[in-house]
Chain A
Amino acid sequence: MVSHGGLLMLLATLTAALFAASLAVGYAPLDLGAATGDAFRGEETVQALVFVELRLPRAILGLLVGFTLGLAGAVMQGFLRNPLAEPGVVGVSGGAAFGAVLVFYSGLAALSPLILPAGGILAALLVGALLFAVAGRGMSTTTLILAGVAINSLAGALISLTLNLAPNPYAAMEIMFWLMGSLADRSFSHVWVALGPMVVGWVMLLSTARALDALSLGEATARTLGFDLRRVRAMVVGGVALSVGAATAVAGVIGFVGLIVPHLVRPLVGHRPGRLLIASGLSGASLTLAADVAVRLIPTRPELQLGVVTAIIGAPFLFSLVWRYRRVER
């Protein structure tokens, strides 16, 4: 068994390698060395443009979005002490997508590029608050999933409504973009609008690490260990809303990363919820980057959407978890 520091180094190296792979893979043939050289010298060659305008923002967004999803999943599972909690499953991603769609459709997005992530974040915050109001404290797996189903249905219905009312097929196409998450054709402007809220969200989520350790002994014990659970809950809901809301606003719904990754990583950190956070974030980044490399290598045209791929991998994984916990609940 490797030490915790060793594990994090390993995961960071893996993430860096996949980040490099994401830069190297694409449709236009690109000499990576020459392109970076040109870009650094400020020469506007085609190579440099492909690298700076296409490859680099796509890879950076893969890293940021993946880290967000892995971290948010780990925190939600630790806080709710529920192995099925995840931004996608409980409806935070769906809600954020609707928020972004609403902002886009209403034309508000034209006012400022910051309004789009703000719409995603606000909607995610609303969903988070709704989730806790509906399901309350110490919610069972069943309640949580039911609340997620209800919220996802509502978000789906509202997005369908906007699709239905879309003035022309192009608007409908644009809206579909948030339903099937993707990192294709993103620019640095997407990176810049999402980066701030994501990093603030990460800090809030990482600050809950010790409380999550304490919560593994139940709420009463966590409180007698000196943790103010209302504050912890605010950090969890706020942090998830900021980071996942911003991620969804620029990349659409990329489901199940936050579900799969904590489960795979948990045994490697001795199941400690606090230790899981950074490891799960790095693994989420790795998985997202790897999936995004894969969609470019798979020879389908049009390109497979990243969110579709993670859902196709993730949904059976969710099914297998439900199957496993079905026995425990009875």
Chain B
Amino acid sequence: MRIEGTGLTVRIGATSILSGVDVAAEPGELVGLIGPNGAGKSTLLSVLARLRTPQAGTLAYDGAPAARMDGRALARRLAMLAQSGGVEWPLTVDRVVAIGRLPHAGRFAASDPEHDREAIQRAMHAANVEALAGRTVDTLSGGERTRVLLARALAVEAEMLLADEPIAALDPYHQIEVMELLAAVVRRGGGVVVVLHDLSLAARFCDRLVLLDRGRVVADATPEQVLTEDRIAAVYGVSVELGSRDGARFVVPWTRLRKADGEG
């Protein structure tokens, strides 16, 4: 399913969150959504998932107006990994993952329990949480919980996966692990849009980066084209050291270039 937003505009009161954003994503591609805090990344993701209706602009799924798609049909084709996703009750891991099969359930019972079981198994295998199956989520570490919630999203077997800062609270080992999992989703033919703050991981794993600044798209191209020293200085207000390893760019933020409010 191709997602395409044109001129997306979101205002909360007098504040513009998104102003005329054009963005597209489709299966087979890992798209990184980057930008400073408050740039509108999470809002854009929720607009793309139809969780929020923009005041202006159009959203299309496979070329047809997004509003026309039935809610349950959409839920089978687009999965979302929400930011700071907690789990309310001490459910076991396999039951959390099984929640991802709800969009496929029939009116009164599972429509294809055999396929559901396989999908849950595949998702748990892909996210490397099989060993945790019987544990309750309240006993998991942050990295384990993120993988479990990712497995939940994978269990939907949707064509598109939207993930809001899935690695923000993880240590480097688990950040790389989750990025590898997302890359594997794309290799298997899925599409991923992921909100990221770590520019090096974004450059290394994403096929394309969309850089947002104050609600506008500043750049939308390959990581090498987007992550230039000047552009990072202009958007993030930091000087950076750029380097490369194994053909991928890495970015080390160094000094602040702008004075903070009330400073100096």
Residue-wise, chain B 80-112 has the 8 Å CB interface mask toward A (1 for contact) of 101001111111100110011011010000000
Q: Are B99 and A214 in contact (CB under 8 A)?
A: yes
Question: What residues on B are CB-neighbors of A273 within 8 Å?
Answer: 89
Which residue of chain B has its CB nearest to the CB of A210? B102
Q: How far is the CA of A228 from the CA of B103 in the complex (A)?
A: 12
* Of A81, A213, A217, A226, the contact of B75 (CB 8 Å cutoff): A226
Contacts of B79 in A (CB 8 A): 224
Chain B residue contacts of A271, Cβ below 8 A = 89-91, 136
Q: Establish whether residues B82 and A216, one from each chain, have CB atoms under 8 Å apart when the complex forms.
A: no
When distances are taken between beta carbons in the complex, the residues of chain B under 8 Å from A272 are 89, 91, 95
Q: Give chain B interface residues in 60-84, CB to chain A under 8 Å.
A: 71-72, 74-76, 78-80, 82
Determine how close the nearest CB of chain B comes to the CB of A286; give it in whole angstroms: 23
Q: Is the CB of B80 within 8 A of A224?
A: yes
In the complex, the chain A residue whose C-beta lies closest to that of B105 is: A210
Residues on B with C-beta less than 8 A from A216 are 87-89, 91, 96, 99
B149 touches A217 (CB 8 A): yes
Selected from B85, B92, B103, the residue in CB contact (under 8 A) with A218 is B85
In the bound complex, residues from chain B placing their C-beta under 8 Å from that of A228 are 71
Q: Chain B residues with Cβ under 8 A from A210's Cβ?
A: 102, 105
A220-B82 in contact (CB<8A): yes
Bound form: Cα–Cα A275–B162 in Å: 29
B107-143: contact bitstring with A at CB < 8 Å (1 yes, 0 no)?
Answer: 0000000000000000000000000000010000000
By beta carbon, the residue of chain A nearest B49 is: A224
A266 to B136, CA, bound (A): 14
Q: B51: CB under 8 A from chain A? A: yes
A266 CA to B82 CA, complexed, in Å: 26
Q: How large is the interface on A (under 10, 10 to 19, 20 to 34, 35 or more residues)?
A: 20 to 34
- The answer to whether the Cβ of B46 comes within 8 Å of any Cβ in the partner chain is yes
B91 and A81 contacting across the interface, CB-CB below 8 Å: no
Interface string of A195-217 (1 = CB under 8 A from B): 00000000000000010011111
In the assembly, what is the distance between CA of A216 and CA of B95, in Å? 11
Say yes or no for B208: interface residue by CB 8 A criterion: no
List the B side residues contacting A226 at CB < 8 Å.
71-72, 74-76, 102-103
Q: A216-B91, A220-B46 are in contact. Are A225 and B99 (CB under 8 A)?
A: yes
- Considering the complex, give the chain B residue whose CB is closest to the CB of A267: B90
Whether the pair A213, B99 counts as a contact (CB closer than 8 A) is yes
The CA-CA distance from A216 to B98 in the complex, in Å, is 12
Residue from B46, B90, B102 within 8 A of A225 (CB atoms):
B102
Which B residues are CB-close (under 8 A) to A224?
A: 49, 51, 75, 78-80, 82
In the complex, are the beta carbons of B89 and A221 less than 8 A apart? no
Closest to A231 in B: B71
A223 at the B interface (CB under 8 A) = yes
Contacts of B86 in A (CB 8 A): 217-218
The minimal Cβ–Cβ distance linking B28 to chain A, given in whole angstroms, is 21
B152 CB–A CB distance under 8 Å? yes
With A220-B46, A220-B80, A220-B82 given, is the CB distance from A270 to B103 under 8 Å?
Answer: no
Contact yes or no, A81 B92, CB < 8 A? no
Q: Which residue of A210, A228, A270 has the most chain B CB atoms within 10 A of its CB atom?
A: A270
Interchain CA distance A223-B92 in the complex, whole Å: 22
State whether B102 touches A266 (Cβ < 8 A).
no
Q: Are A225 and B91 interface neighbours, CB within 8 A?
A: no
Say yes or no: A225 contacts B75, CB within 8 Å: yes
* B54 nearest CB across to chain A (Å): 16
Min CB gap A180→B, angstroms: 34
Contact, CB under 8 Å: A225 / B96: no
A217 and B95: CB pair below 8 A?
Answer: no
Asked whether B85 lies within 8 Å of A270 as measured between CB atoms, the reply is no
Closest-by-CB residue of B relative to A266 is B89
Expressed in whole angstroms, the minimum distance between the Cβ of A236 and any Cβ of chain B is 16
Query: Is A218 touching B82 in the complex (CB atoms < 8 A)?
Result: yes
B91 touches A270 (CB 8 A): yes
Interchain CA distance A214-B87 in the complex, whole Å = 10
Chain B residues contacting A225 (CB-CB under 8 Å) are 75, 99-100, 102-103, 156
Contacts of A213 in B (CB 8 A): 99, 102
Residues of chain A with a CB closer than 8 A to B99's CB? 213-214, 216-217, 225
Chain A residue contacts of B88, Cβ below 8 A? 81, 215-218
Do B80 and A221 touch across chains, with their CB atoms under 8 A apart? yes
Offer 16 A-B interface pairs, CB within 8 angstroms, sorted by A. Answer: A214-B99, A214-B102, A215-B88, A217-B86, A217-B88, A217-B152, A218-B86, A218-B88, A221-B82, A224-B49, A224-B82, A226-B75, A270-B91, A270-B95, A271-B89, A272-B91
- Tell me the A residues contacting B by CB distance below 8 Å: 81, 210, 213-218, 220-221, 223-228, 266, 270-273
Told that A210-B105, A217-B96, A217-B152 touch, could you supply 10 new A-B pairs with CB distance under 8 A? A215-B88, A217-B82, A217-B86, A217-B88, A217-B149, A218-B86, A218-B88, A220-B82, A221-B85, A224-B78
